[in-house]
Amino acid sequence: MTRTLRIAPSILSADFSRLGEEVRAVEAAGADLIHFDVMDNHYVPNLTIGPMVCAAVRPHVKIPIDVHLMVAPVDRIIPDFAEAGANLITFHPEAAAHVDRTLQLIRDSGCRAGLVLNPATPLNVLDHVMDRLDVVLLMSVNPGFGGQSFIGSALAKLRAVRARIDAHVAAGGAPIWLEIDGGVKVDNIAAIAAAGADTFVAGSAVFGARDPDGGYHGILARLRGALGEA
């Protein structure tokens, strides 16, 4: 089976003083999505960027912006991100009072919707919402910081979610992306793909490997090469 594979550089590890150039450079190098990490110093112990920065980045690239909300509460901020040009919005079920309602709210705002599962979050949060999901994002680190090591148990979890998605599609359901976030590197991305992921967030691996000319063609080519897509 051939699966479309997507690379989503996380701008958490980009140079925030030159974000426009950074997102243009990863798009030019062939990135498929811009992964946009939103942290509130409440749901996670770190504070990052919000809708105003999303709106500022939006005109610099054509590729979709993949907003990963690590905030609680969730609902209030969704229309702001839709307005700011987000294309996908994912959130953590532990941070939402009414998961089904929040998933509907994201789609009603014109974006694709997804749930994010922390390393210890059980898969049963997916049980009754498969038809409301466009993406499942599995965390392979605990959320809050870039540059952490991949948690190995995420591979078995990926295989389990892949089986659920394949069963859902076989039963007539719409496709659902399976995204992985945390500690993705050139040396483990092939094993992560083999476990079933189709969309790969990479923060420090990409933005820590700038080419001498300031671009990111080298690291994107190495990631795609490891995926067998050189």
Catalytic residue from among 32, 37, 40, 134: 37
- Closest to 199 in 3D by CA, of 207, 189, 209, 208: 189
Least distance CB 152 / ligand DX5 (angstroms): 14
Binding site partner of 157, from Zn ion, ligand DX5, none, Cβ cut-off 5-8 A by kind? none
Catalytic residue from among 32, 40, 181, 198: 181
Least distance CB 126 / ligand DX5 (angstroms): 19
205-209, Cβ contacts within 8 angstroms, sequence gap of 24 or more = 206/9, 206/10, 206/13, 206/26, 206/31, 207/9, 207/10, 207/11, 207/13, 207/14, 207/15, 207/22, 208/13
Query: Is 37 an annotated catalytic residue?
Result: yes
User: Among residues 35 and 164, whose Cβ is nearest to ligand DX5?
Assistant: 35
Work out whether strand 199-202 and strand 177-181 pair parallel, antiparallel, or are unpaired: parallel
Q: Which residues bind Zn ion (CB under 5 A)?
A: 37, 68, 181
197 three-class SS: coil
Residues 6+ apart with CB under 8 A from 12: 35, 37, 48, 146, 203
Least distance CB 181 / Zn ion (angstroms): 4
User: Among residues 45 and 225, whose Cβ is nearest to ligand DX5?
Assistant: 45
Q: Which residues bind ligand DX5 (CB under 6 A)?
A: 10, 12-13, 35, 37, 68, 141, 143-148, 181-184, 201-205
Cα gap 106→82, rounded to integer Å: 8
User: Among residues 91 and 216, whose Cβ is nearest to Zn ion?
Assistant: 91
Residue of minimal CB distance from ligand DX5? Answer: 203
For the chain, give the number of residues.
230
Binding site partner of 118, from ligand DX5, Zn ion, none, Cβ cut-off 5-8 A by kind? none
User: Among residues 93 and 144, whose Cβ is nearest to ligand DX5?
Assistant: 144
Work out whether strand 88-91 and strand 177-181 pair parallel, antiparallel, or are unpaired: unpaired
Residues serving a catalytic function are 37, 181
